[in-house]
Amino acid sequence: MAFSSVDYTEDSIKSLDWKEHIRLRPGMYIGKLGDGSAQDDGIYVLVKEVIDNSIDEHMMGHGRSINIKVTDHRVEVRDYGRGIPLGKVVDCVSKINTGGKYDSGAFQKSVGLNGVGTKAVNALSAYFKVQSFRDGKTKLAEFEKGEITNDAKESKTSDRNGTLVAFEPDDNVFKNFHFIPDYLDNLIWNYAYLNAGLTINLNGKKYHSEKGLLDLLERKTDIENLRYPIIHLKGNDIEMAITHANQYGEEYYSFVNGQHTTQGGTHLSAFREAVAKTIKEFYKKDFDASDIRASIVAAIAVRVQEPVFESQTKTKLGSQNIAPDGPTMRTFVNDFVRKELDNYLHRNSEVADALLKRILQSERERKEIAGIKKLANERAKKANLHNKKLRDCRIHLNDKKGDEELKAGSMIFITEGDSASGSITKSRNVQTQAVFSLRGKPFNCFGHTKKVVYENEEFNLLQHALNIEDGLEGLRYRKIIIATDADVDGMHIRLLLLTYFLQFFPELVRSGHLFILETPLFRVRNKKETIYCYSEEEKETAVGKLGSKPEITRFKGLGEISPNEFAGFIGEDIRLEPVILQKETKIKDILTFYMGKNTPERQKFIIDKLRIEKDLVEEEKELAA
């Protein structure tokens, strides 16, 4: 095999300054970029990096409130801590590896220790401003893409001590980005729960918690669905809350130094192990750990000195010890849970009885489907060797090694029919995009037990493709995307799939992994330009722009869109609608409405939707004429 000759000289070695490197390799600093449709997209990491500094000030005893304002493309954060020392304001946001967190006396248990966060925000912002207020004086500096544009002199001020940071993400880096209010709401609530007593104001809304993780679980769960009251325990550098509900799966919220570790880590692994071990010892019975943890809803937060995360975005803890010279994470968490949870269960016999009933119920359910499950797993292994339902990608979220940004960009499209799956398969990125093809409409699993997941071949193969049978730790794709036609049949398939995920894998939805693919409804073009439109309004705007009776095509289904065109819709400019479960959303109620017996309310809903479909049919006739 011949290779082209390339000179390797001194000129081949390049040194980039800090801002050039961040802009060239943003994934190293903020994970994947995204457009804001996923809660771990880069624009939210930028917000977090700025807020984390304010939180660290509060943790050190300085400042009891933080004001945040977020508009379409601008973020402002004002805290009332000590304020950055005025002579170091510019350095702290523009000199890499510069900051106060190298001084362990100033920041004992901080989130950010690498001196990178605000520099990344600065470099990736079209506009960035930092202003410190300190002891009657203030210092302001402004930047564009990391380049300083205004280094103002110190001046007098009557404002309270603290720091103001404002930034506008660079839309050349974050294309078509938008902030989703639900994601921001969840982010700020987490800060409030982990910093009891702190008040955060976001766009005029007040966030405040006095009971920490107890408040968190009360907000995340349907209280009426709990098997016993939430157990809330606190100790030095550790806090936990735990209960059991009636849903399938395990649901955890884990935190380190105020950072939401969405991918868990050593602290969550230790917690899951400690809970199972403690409960076995309390009841003096060797329960299967899966029966103990089935339907669990829990939160764990620890404070770690000099934490080690597995990536700059800090979503997974890698620290083996609670402190450089302290006990291991496993020992620290186990000792706390073993003592405090055991004491609680001894003092609260009603809770202990309710917990035992929940475990025994899970044990019975597991044994009832054991035989079916074994056969289903064997069928799945056999099918995976021969079928063409899954056209897999090469990089997966659960790969132990590999580029973190690529792993975070892994996705699977769930589609129906050969033509639709064929279009996506031909146009996808085989590195990170997989396709799972359904055969006809899925079974309506509403009201059925998990037994149906193993009895139904489609559902069984789907859960194996995703690798979610035993929880989310082995999940193979960051994004699970339902890709169906925008007609009545497509909407029905979408509802059936949503029912499957909400009923049997609700933690998958709550963790922000489920999305709906948005594809254009219209193509408007003339000889010079083609515009794809996702709504009637966009179509009208495009017609006005192109003028002189452009050609208008309405796409009736995914299979109608050529692979060459489809590549543009699932590439960098992919539009995804996240499936978000809000605080007031009760899964049982929403599934009963959509998938239960025909109620007058649902009949009206269906009629309204059919009316929309009739309008589209009439519109097609007009276009044809």
CATH number at residue 376: 3.40.50.670
The answer on 186 and 98 residing in a single domain is yes
The answer on 621 and 512 residing in a single domain is no
Examine the pLDDT at 609 and tell me if it is beyond 80: no
The answer on 100 and 169 residing in a single domain is yes
Confidence label for 596 from pLDDT (cuts 50, 70 and 90): low
Tokens of 419: 């033509």
The answer on 445 and 389 residing in a single domain is yes
The answer on 509 and 396 residing in a single domain is yes
Tell me which range, 54-68, 369-383, 548-562, 598-612, is most confidently predicted by mean pLDDT.
Answer: 54-68
Tokens of 493: 């398939």
Tokens of 71: 């508009």
Cα 52 from Cα 35, distance rounded (Å): 22
Confidence label for 400 from pLDDT (cuts 50, 70 and 90): confident
The answer on 411 and 397 residing in a single domain is yes
Provide long-range contacts, Cβ within 8 A and 24+ apart, for 349-358.
Answer: 350/228, 351/228, 351/229, 351/231, 352/282, 354/227, 354/228, 355/227, 355/228, 355/244, 355/279, 356/283, 357/227, 358/227, 358/228, 358/244, 358/294, 358/295
pLDDT at position 29, please?
82
Query: What digits encode the pLDDT tens for the residues 135-153?
Result: 999 999 999 999 999 999 9
Examine the pLDDT at 1 and tell me if it is beyond 50: no
Confidence label for 67 from pLDDT (cuts 50, 70 and 90): very high
CATH number at residue 99: 3.30.565.10
pTM above 0.85, yes or no: no
Q: What's the helix, strand, coil split of the chain in %, to 5?
A: 40, 20, 40
Cα 27 from Cα 605, distance rounded (Å): 43
Domain count, the chain: 4
Residue 512, domain extent: 370-519+555-580
Q: Give the closest residue to 38 by CA, choosing from 614, 576, 598, 585.
A: 576
Range of weakest confidence among 37-46, 320-329, 382-391, 551-560 = 382-391
The answer on 160 and 26 residing in a single domain is yes
Range of weakest confidence among 124-133, 360-369, 548-557 = 548-557
Q: Is residue 133 part of a domain?
A: yes
pLDDT at position 204, please?
94
Range of weakest confidence among 50-54, 78-82, 388-392 = 388-392
Task: Name the residue with tokens 């969840």.
Answer: 186
Tokens of 229: 């009251």
Question: What's the average model confidence in pLDDT over 270-294?
Answer: 96
Q: Is residue 319 part of a domain?
A: yes
Contact 110, 99 (CB under 8 A): no
pLDDT at position 457, please?
87
Examine the pLDDT at 282 and tell me if it is beyond 90: yes
Q: Is residue 546 part of a domain?
A: no
Strands 259-260 and 479-483, how do they pair?
A: unpaired
Query: What digits encode the pLDDT tens for the residues 457-483?
Result: 889 999 999 999 888 888 999 999 999
Domain boundary among 208, 239, 260: 208
Domain boundary among 147, 180, 208: 208
- More confidently predicted of 509 and 583: 509
pLDDT at position 441, please?
85
Q: Is residue 471 part of a domain?
A: yes
Domain boundary among 161, 182, 208: 208
> How many other β-carbons are positioned within 10 Å of the β-carbon of residue 621?
8
Confidence label for 625 from pLDDT (cuts 50, 70 and 90): very low
Element (H, E) at 235: strand 231-235
pLDDT at position 410, please?
94
Q: Is residue 301 part of a domain?
A: yes
Examine the pLDDT at 402 and tell me if it is beyond 90: no
The answer on 375 and 476 residing in a single domain is yes
Cα 490 from Cα 600, distance rounded (Å): 23
Question: What's the average model confidence in pLDDT over 113-140?
Answer: 88
pLDDT, the chain, mean = 85
Tokens of 525: 């073009």
The answer on 324 and 190 residing in a single domain is no
Question: What's the average model confidence in pLDDT over 61-67?
Answer: 92
Tell me which range, 106-115, 132-141, 249-258, 563-572, is most confidently predicted by mean pLDDT.
Answer: 132-141
Instruction: Outline where 266-417 has alpha helix (H).
Output: 266-283, 289-293, 329-347, 349-368, 370-386, 404-408
Confidence label for 313 from pLDDT (cuts 50, 70 and 90): low
Cα 267 from Cα 261, distance rounded (Å): 10
Q: Is residue 541 part of a domain?
A: no
Contact 413, 481 (CB under 8 A): yes
The answer on 85 and 99 residing in a single domain is yes
Could you tell me what percent of the chain has a pLDDT over 70? 86
Tokens of 287: 């329960």
The answer on 559 and 484 residing in a single domain is yes
Geometric angle at alpha carbon 401, from 399 and 402, rounded to 5° = 95
Range of weakest confidence among 22-31, 497-506, 542-551, 607-616 = 607-616
Element (H, E) at 612: helix 600-624
CATH number at residue 257: 3.30.230.10
Q: Is residue 100 part of a domain?
A: yes
The answer on 164 and 245 residing in a single domain is no
Q: Is residue 6 part of a domain?
A: no
- More confidently predicted of 8 and 370: 370
Beta strands in 367-525 (DSSP E): 390-391, 411-416, 433-438, 479-483, 514-518, 522-525
